[in-house]
Amino acid sequence: MRCSILIFILLVISSENMYSASFDCTNSKTTIENMICSDELLSEVDEQLNHEYQDILNNLEMEEAEQIKYKQIELERKKWLIKRDQCRNIECVYEAYIELACEGNRIGSYRGAGECFDLKLNTLERYLNAIEEEYVKKILVQSENPEYLKSVVEDERIKWKQYRNSYCELVGQVTGGTDGWKSVWTVDCKVEETNKRIDWLKNGWH
């Protein structure tokens, strides 16, 4: 399991799609808010993590010890927001949310772990698509029958994804735990298999 993924990815963001987030996307003003509102997964994770943050604060009793904890939580949140808001591209924003979603105290629950691995998988799949497209362009130029080669490559991509999904579904089911954790292990497996394919494409598929 790779707990930290720092990758440079090519993302295509449609500015016409505005999704729900922890703030009103119809009135988004900053560059960061616009990037979050334009990405469905980031919007969902932003909203979910904000709900969890508010729930934690609301459940604290306002005794002296809890007031100190309240201030500490608020301070950590502000530090993270400052770091996130320094981002200048969507790759950086993704990394900030992966860091927050994969905090040790969150991945102890299947819901927190699921959000962590979902973010990783989504990011890796976008990166994988970019690598595959770049490689296909390169090999098509060298082919005497580019149309046939293109169909072969596309067929391989589809079958690889089918294999990965079936294999990881099995891994998730036999790993154990509740249904929630089985889903987490399935996605974790997909992260690992996708990383393997990326390494293969970059280093072994010549």
Q: Where are the domains of the chain?
A: 25-101, 110-203
So what's the pLDDT on residue 158?
96
CATH of 110-203, one of 3.40.50.2300, 1.20.1270.180, 3.30.70.920, 1.10.3980.10: 1.20.1270.180
- Entry pTM: 0.65
For 47-57, give one letter per residue: b (16+ CB within 10 A) or e.
bebeeebeeee
User: How many other C-beta atoms lie within 10 A of the C-beta of residue 84?
Assistant: 18
Instruction: List the chain residues with pLDDT less than 70.
Output: 1-22, 28, 60-66, 69, 104-107, 204-206
Distance in angstroms (rounded) separating the CA atoms of residues 39 and 46: 11
DSSP conformational letter for 206: -
Distance in angstroms (rounded) separating the CA atoms of residues 139 and 135: 6
Burial-class residue 121 by CB neighbours within 10 Å (0-12, 13-18, 19+). Answer: buried
One-letter amino acid at 92 equals C
So what's the pLDDT on residue 15?
32
Residue 115, token pair as written in the block: 């959000």
| 193 touches 164 (CB < 8 A) | yes
So what's the pLDDT on residue 21?
62
